[in-house]
Amino acid sequence: MSLGYRGQAFRGFARQPGQPTVQGELEHALSLMLRRSVEVVCAGRTDAGVHARNQVVSVDVTAAEAQALAGRRTVRSLNALTHDDIVVHAVQRRSPGFSARFDAVEREYRYRICTGDAPPLFMRDFSWFVSGSLDVGAMREAAACFIGEHDYKSFCKAVSAIDKPTCRYVSEVSLFEEVEMGERVTVVRVVGNAFLHSMVRTMVGSLVMVGKGQRDPGWIARALEARDRTAAGECAPARGLVFWDVRY
């Protein structure tokens, strides 16, 4: 299934007892349709407040269930059964053994930043407002330090990195401007094979520190080498981040 969602309504993607989550909503809807308990797997877990444009989710079904789930009626049913802030775009059949998580080869995130003297109105729930201006040129220079395979222990939630591998390959970190609903935003596009907990948000928070002139562009490389969460910048707010796409 491909779907999108607004993150404000959920405590993240992953199921949590007693908490509204995207996974919980999807599994409840599918359980009603299939009349049994199900467990879904997503391409990339998102934190509380993070949005998704094209999240991909897989679920194992029998041949008979796959036949029953085919067609537009399933999409309409899922959208009727799930939270209003979740939209299922399509349901497609894949070969047995397909995993939305493990078969993914590339994931893309986009983070939106608004700058200026006045905060945004229409983009308020989908961007980080940074008062004043940013040196985007310096941010681009700093972003180049992320390209390639690095140990991102400095750029993820410290507790999530304990006794776990933290090397990841990032193929692109680019910055460009867009106008959304008449409001100008700076977009940070990050593409890689996989990401750690809060990794993209910490990368963006660190780039903003460079854009403000609080750190020099080379600081990013030094932070990577330190392999210590305290060496990098702040974690940017969740509302500006969108899980944009996944490729197989």
Q: Where are the alpha helices (DSSP H) in the chain?
A: 22-34, 63-69, 72-81, 136-143, 199-211, 219-226
Helices (H) and strands (E) in the chain, counts: 6, 10
109 known member of a binding site: yes
Helix or strand holding residue 90 (H, E): strand 86-90
Cα–Cα distance for residue pair 67/150, rounded to 1 Å: 44
47 catalytically annotated: yes
| CA distances to 45, 69, 80, 134, 244 from 151, in Å | 20, 42, 43, 27, 23
Cα–Cα distance for residue pair 117/132, rounded to 1 Å: 6
Q: Locate 147 and state its tokens.
A: 């390209």
Could you say which of 47, 84, 163, 228 is catalytic?
Answer: 47
Neighbours of 80 (CB within 10 A): 9
Residue 25, phi-psi category: left (phi > 0), alpha (psi -120 to 50), beta (remainder):
alpha
Q: Which amino acid makes up residue 47?
A: D
Q: Cβ(68)–Cβ(24) under 8 Å?
A: no
Binding site residues, as ranges? 109
Binding residues for substrate: 109
Question: Which amino acids are annotated catalytic?
Answer: 47
